[in-house]
Amino acid sequence: MSEFKTLLEEVRSVCRSHARAEDKMAQICHMLQEVDGYDWVGFYLVDPDRHDSLVLGPHVGSDNPHKELVFGKGVCGQVAERQTTIVVDKVADELNYLSLDPAVKSEIVLPLFRQGRLAGMLDVESVTEARFGDRDRLFLEEVCLQMTDQI
């Protein structure tokens, strides 16, 4: 838990900085990828031209992510529709999962808000099945809370 406490302080520091939103997200991706089992970390943002789709933002990990996602499709699209966190312990069992990397075994996706409206999401994937427990969820929800109105 101390690892998460230290990381959360670093996230707060990044969010308080005067950096551009994109730079803040990129820094946070790199920091989160240091957590064991957080193999791909990235942001998807609500497309400003089409409010029913998401576009890829800053990310680290596999260099072949989906560039655009439609609301309702895949785990990210489901989070966009429901505006709530979704944890998938075994992506192979998820019917509405959009796979690009067969090594990915589990995923957590969390919504991000700006002025009370959905602005995007934080997506974390792991090559370990059932990687994301309650501690991860609480930690990542706090990261997202710190990012409210930052993007």
Sheet of 86-88, strands arranged across: 68-70, 53-60, 40-46, 117-126, 106-114, 86-88
Residue whose token pair is 């979704």: 86
pTM above 0.85, yes or no: yes
Digit-coded pLDDT (tens) for 67-124? 899 999 999 999 999 999 999 999 999 988 888 789 999 999 999 999 999 999 999 9
Query: Which domains does the chain show, CATH number per domain?
Result: 2-147 (3.30.450.40)
Residues 75 and 73: their CA atoms lie apart, in Å, by 7
Residues pairing with 77 in the sheet = none
Residues 55 and 139: their CA atoms lie apart, in Å, by 24
Handedness of CA 130, 121, 113, 7 (dihedral sign): positive
Contact assessment for residue 61 and residue 39, using Cβ atoms and an 8 Å cutoff: yes
Distance (Å, rounded) from C-alpha 20 to C-alpha 9? 19
pLDDT at 30: 97
Confidence (pLDDT) at 1? 60
